[in-house]
């Protein structure tokens, strides 16, 4: 059930070939109207809002994860019975190894560009990469060249691993709670 049921049930005025519905588009516009004024802030003023948002996002992610895990009672069907979710059967041997290599490569590809190009990059791929590159751009404020290396070399992989694990387990629990819905990524 939605908080605003009338918004959730808003009639879709977009055609069937459009990848979003009217309520998705309205939410997208509201999001940008809230975010656009924040782009006018100078980077020197990001510290306090960044700390506040980081704490709020962490608390919200942990709350949703714990709620889903407690309500489901286990890790969900992605862990206990993955072949029923994916419909691919049980992977073993080299087939499993190549799927793992593909997944690892896909994960590394999402953030490796941001680490490689640091603050001088002008091109990016995807919204997630843009966020990471904007955060990595703070390396120019380091006192000495290389000061940021140790912080980034450990914090970026650990934060990505933690958020990915929370997302995967929460998605698995959601699949167990709502078996007739598609995977809620």
pLDDT of residue 6: 81
Tell me the pLDDT tens digit for each residue of 98-126: 877 777 777 777 666 655 555 444 444 44
Q: pLDDT tens digits, residue range 47-100?
A: 788 889 989 999 999 999 999 999 999 888 877 777 766 666 677 778 777 877
One domain, residues 97 and 77: yes
| Mean pLDDT value of segment 153-172 | 83
Task: For residues 111 and 132, state if they share a domain.
Answer: yes
In this predicted structure, what is the pLDDT of residue 122?
41
Domain count along the chain: 2
pLDDT digit string (tens) for 126-145?
444 444 445 555 666 777 77
Judgement on whether residues 16 and 96 belong to the same structural domain of the protein: no
- Residue 57, in any domain of the structure: yes
Q: Examine the domain organization and report whether 78 and 32 are in the same domain.
A: no
One domain for residues 21 and 49: no
Are residues 27 and 102 part of one domain? no
What pLDDT is recorded for position 120?
Answer: 42
Of the candidate ranges 7-11, 12-16, 126-130, 174-178, the one whose mean pLDDT is the lowest = 126-130
Q: Are residues 18 and 68 in the same domain?
A: no
The boundaries of the domain holding residue 150 are 42-177
Whether residue 22 lies inside any domain: the answer is yes
Distance between CA atoms of 174 and 148, rounded to whole angstroms? 37
Does 185 reside within a domain?
Answer: no
The pLDDT score that the predictor gives to residue 17 is 85
Does 148 lie in the same domain as 62? Answer: yes
Counting other chains too, the contacts that 15-18 makes at CB distance below 8 Å and 24 or more residues apart are none
50/35 same-domain check: no
Same domain, 69 and 139: yes
Q: Is 82 found in the same domain as 122?
A: yes
CB atoms within 10 A of CB 139: 16
pTM for the model stands at 0.61
pLDDT value at residue 52: 92
Residue 58 lies in a domain: yes
Taking the C-alpha atoms of residue 127 and residue 117, their distance in angstroms, rounded to an integer, is 16
| CB contact at 8 A, 68 and 172 | no
Pair (74, 143) in one structural domain: yes
């Amino acid at each position: 059930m939605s908080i605003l049921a009338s918004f959730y049930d808003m009639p879709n005025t977009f055609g069937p070939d459009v990848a979003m519905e009217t309520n998705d588009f309205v939410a997208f516009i509201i999001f940008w109207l809230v975010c656009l004024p924040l782009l006018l802030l100078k980077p020197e003023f990001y510290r306090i809002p960044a700390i506040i948002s980081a704490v709020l996002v962490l608390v919200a992610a942990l709350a949703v994860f714990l709620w889903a895990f407690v309500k489901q009672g286990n890790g969900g069907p992605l862990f206990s019975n993955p072949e029923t979710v994916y419909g691919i059967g049980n992977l073993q041997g080299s087939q499993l190894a190549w799927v793992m290599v593909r997944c690892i490569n896909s994960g590394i590809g999402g953030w490796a560009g941001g680490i490689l190009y640091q603050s001088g990059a002008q091109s990016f791929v995807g919204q997630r990469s843009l966020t990471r590159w904007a955060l990595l751009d703070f390396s120019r404020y380091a006192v000495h060249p290389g000061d940021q290396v140790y912080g980034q070399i450990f914090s970026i992989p650990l934060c990505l691993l933690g958020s990915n694990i929370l997302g995967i387990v929460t998605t698995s629990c959601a699949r167990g709670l709502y078996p007739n819905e598609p995977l809620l990524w």
